[in-house]
Amino acid sequence: MSCFARLTTRAVLLAALAVLIALPAHAAKITFVLVNDIYEMADQETQDGRMRGGFARLAAVVKAERARAAAGGGTVIFAHAGDTLSPSLMSGLDQGAHIVALTNMVAPDIFVPGNHEFDFGKAVFLKRMGEARFPLFAANLRAPGNAVLPGFQDRRVVTVDGVKIGLLGLAYDDTARASNPEDLVFRDSVEVLKEQAAALRREGADFVVAVVHADRDQQRAMVATGVVDVVLGGHNHDLFINYDQSAALVESSYEALYVTAVDVDVTVTTTPEGRRAMAWWPQFRIVDTATVTPDPEVLAAVKGYQAELASEMNVPIATTAVEWDSRSATVRTREAAIGNVFADAVRANLKTEAAILNGGGIRSGRVYPPGSPVTRRDVLAELPFSNRVVPVEIGGAELRAAIEHGLAKLPDPSGRFPQVSGLTVEADPSKPPGSRVLSIQVDGRPLDPRRTYTVAVNDFMARGGDGYDMVRDAKHLLPTDDSPLLANEVMVHLRRLGTMRTGVEGRIRLK
Mean pLDDT on 193-216 = 97
User: CA 479 to CA 474: how far, in whole Å?
Assistant: 12
The model's pTM is: 0.85
Average of pLDDT values for 26-35?
96
Give the tens place of pLDDT for each residue, 137-190: 999 999 999 999 999 999 999 999 999 999 999 999 999 988 889 999 999 999
Q: Is the pLDDT of residue 12 over 90?
A: no
Average pLDDT over residues 466-484: 93
What's the Rg (C-alpha) of the chain?
Answer: 28
Contact 134, 103 (CB under 8 A): yes
Least confident of 196-205, 241-250, 268-277: 268-277
CB 367 within 8 A of CB 327: yes
- Is the per-residue pLDDT at 9 higher than 60? no
| pLDDT of 52 strictly over 80 | yes
Mean pLDDT over residues 351-372, rounded?
96
Q: Where do the domains of the chain lie?
A: 21-308, 316-510
Q: What does the pLDDT read at residue 392?
A: 97
Tell me what the pLDDT averaged over the chain comes to: 94
pLDDT, average across residues 240-259: 97
CB 209 within 8 A of CB 229: yes
Is 2's pLDDT higher than 50? Answer: no
Per-residue CA distances from 158 to 104, 197, 480 (Å): 21, 14, 37
At a CB cut-off of 8 Å and minimum separation 6, what does 197 contact? 166, 168, 208, 210, 225, 227, 228
Q: What is the pLDDT of residues 291-342, one digit of tens each?
A: 999 999 999 999 999 999 999 999 999 999 999 999 999 999 999 999 999 9
- How far is residue 339's CA from residue 326's CA, in Å, rounded to a whole number? 8
User: Would you call the peptide bond into 87 cis, given omega within 30 degrees of 0 as the criterion?
Assistant: yes
> In which band, very low, low, confident or very high, does the pLDDT at 23 lie, cut at 50, 70 and 90?
low
pLDDT at 234 over 90: yes
Alpha-carbon distance of 153 to 134, in angstroms, equals 12
pLDDT at 259: 98
- pLDDT higher than 50, residue 72: yes
Superfamily per CATH, domain 316-510: 5'-Nucleotidase, C-terminal domain (3.90.780.10)
The domains spanning 21-308 and 316-510 adopt the same CATH topology = no
The pLDDT-based confidence of 6 (bands split at 50, 70, 90) is very low
CA dihedral of residues 16, 18, 19, 25 (deg, nearest 10)? 140
Question: What is the distance of C-alpha 242 from the center of its chain?
Answer: 21
How would you write 296-364 as a 3-class SS string? HHHHHHHHHHHHHHHHHHCCEEEEECCCEECCHHHHCCCCCHHHHHHHHHHHHHHCCCEEEEEHHHCCC
Report whether pLDDT(484) > 80.
Answer: yes
pLDDT tops 50 at residue 256: yes
Q: Choose the CATH number for 21-308 among 1.10.1060.10, 3.40.50.300, 3.40.50.1370, 3.60.21.10.
A: 3.60.21.10
Task: Say what the pLDDT of residue 179 is.
Answer: 87
The pLDDT value recorded for residue 4 is 36
Is the pLDDT at 62 greater than 80, yes or no?
Answer: yes
- With residue 111 as reference, give the H or E element that holds it: strand 110-111
pLDDT in tens, 272-292: 888 899 999 999 999 999 999
- What confidence score (pLDDT) does residue 13 get? 43
Cβ neighbours of 462 (radius 10 Å): 24
Q: What is the mean pLDDT of residues 469-488?
A: 93
Look at residue 10 and tell me whether its pLDDT is greater than 90: no
